[in-house]
Structure 1
Amino acid sequence: MPRSEAGGDSRRTLVSARGVHVVTGRVPGADSGFDAEDAAQLLGTDAATLGSLDETRIASYLTARQWVRDIVTGRLRRPWSGFEATPRGVKPRLADSTLDVSIAHAGDRLVVGVVEHGRIGVDVELVASVFDQPSLARRLCTPAERRRADALGPAERRAWLTQLWTVKESYAKALGAGLSLDFRQLDGAALRHRVAVRGVLTPATGASRAKIAVSWVDAAPSCSPSSVRAI
């Protein structure tokens, strides 16, 4: 059986208030302790997906869904029916539940979020050379964001573009739009002023310098119009 949240694993809570719950941590090694019976109960009708995954991804896939189950059953006291079977690239959905879920991976880092009302999106990225590519900046930035990025030094620019990506990606995931949303038309800073959008950003942490963003939309759990808060 896999380790529970109380079992001393790497998870830490980013948000746990008013029906929004987000945790992050590191994925355990390939020998993560899942057996076939628990995996089937954990995944529900999505269990067939395991057969299509590369062996290196299975621990991450199961760990993320275990963390979701712990939030649903432990924090929200809701029954568990597993996940619906969804095509690859489609936001995960819980079976027989109105709760909204989002999951993100980068390297061995994992972030999962569950919201009772509205929709949630999470993203995590490692600050890496991919964010130095001009083609990515062209896909990611509004004209004003391009000008700001061009004015930064290389290291600061890379970190800033990484964070900007996570903000826009988390918002797109919350909407269920994924990469079909044109990021060039989406002002990352303007999201802070949309009443129906909330978010949590983390600064660079650890040797890998991870950036995390969380957005939740529609029936947001706070009356404040300020949508993005730094922690």
Structure 2
Amino acid sequence: MPRSETGGDARRTLVSARGVHVVTGRIPPPDPGFDAEDAAELLGTDAAALGSLDGSRLASYLTARRWVRDIVTVRLRRPWRGFEATLRGTKPRLAASPLDVSIAHAGDLLVVGVVEHGRIGVDVELVAPVFDQPALARRLCTLVERRRADSLPPADRRAWLTQLWTVKESYAKAVGAGLALDFRQLGAAELRHSDAVRGVLTPASGRTHAKIAVSWVDAAPSSSLSSVRAI
């Protein structure tokens, strides 16, 4: 993404191909010059959510949505009408637009994705001991994936399990299921060969302690589906 789109921040493009656009970067500190009118134009009917956000969450919330607006208006040259009001914890939706959006953050790292056709899910996680806990591994892995995890040295296992989580979580976000999916029945390798999945990416985060995944699926899983198209 050109510097003019980034407003001078440390944002960088992870994916920009075949209608899929994903950027990542650091969440800036809270802006003391926060302008409620600008936020209203940015958010649309979702501006009502601002009252429930503290300083750090507000910075992440507004930054993510500004990045979405940049992709929509600068890169895609589409009109901007803000976001629909949605419940917290649910996937954001653009007002009066067919574009699909996904947002994820971990620590100070933010990832934003927009897709022109179909649905998108993005996830980012910091590599942490929690992903190597037996209880979480049992929730996360198929039997084949458990055997693979058990064969790895501890440091490699933790990083591999973190990446495995991001792949499955990004897919769950793309299809709108969230954690309702049973990850134990969802093989990450099989997703790449599913007729319902157009692409599953694990782009480099630029940080050794963070993992990112992007999933892109058809808009209507019950319709005639496309073959896998890796980006």
TM over 0.5: yes
* CA RMSD, 1 decimal: 1.9
Mapped pair 1:162 → 2:162: yes
Letter in 1 for 2:20: V
Contact 1:166–1:211 (CA<8 Å) still a contact in 2? yes
TM-aligned CA distance change 1:226 to 1:76, over 3 Å: closer
Mapped pair 1:225 → 2:200: no
Report the Cα distance in structure 2 between the residues aligned to 1:181 and 1:32, rounded to whole angstroms: 40
Contact 1:32–1:59 (CA<8 Å) still a contact in 2? no
Q: Which deviations, in whole Å up to 9, do the C-alpha atoms of 1:176-222 show, x marking residues without a partner?
A: 00111110100001111123320221246325x110000100169xx
Which ranges in structure 2 are unaligned for 5 or more consecutive residues? Answer: 221-225
- 1:113 is aligned to 113
Q: Which deviations, in whole Å up to 9, do the C-alpha atoms of 1:92-146 show, x marking residues without a partner?
A: 0001111100000000000000011100000000101111211111111011111
Which ranges in structure 1 are unaligned for 5 or more consecutive residues? Answer: none
Contact 1:193–1:226 (CA<8 Å) still a contact in 2? no
Quote the offset at 1:4 in angstroms: 6.1
Quote the offset at 1:224 in angstroms: 6.8
Mapped pair 1:190 → 2:190: yes
- 2:223 is aligned to none
Identity of aligned residues (%): 78
Q: Which deviations, in whole Å up to 9, do the C-alpha atoms of 1:56-76 show, x marking residues without a partner?
A: 200000000000000011111
Report the Cα distance in structure 2 between the residues aligned to 1:44 and 1:4, rounded to whole angstroms: 23
Runs of 4+ in 1 over 6 A off after TM superposition: none
Q: Which deviations, in whole Å up to 9, do the C-alpha atoms of 1:143-166 show, x marking residues without a partner?
A: 111111111111000000000000
SS in 1 for 2:28: coil
SS in 2 for 1:16: strand
TM-score, normalised to structure 2's length? 0.91
Quote the offset at 1:86 in angstroms: 0.5
TM-aligned CA distance change 1:226 to 1:114, over 3 Å: closer
**Alignment coverage as a number of residue pairs:** 223
- 2:85 is aligned to 85
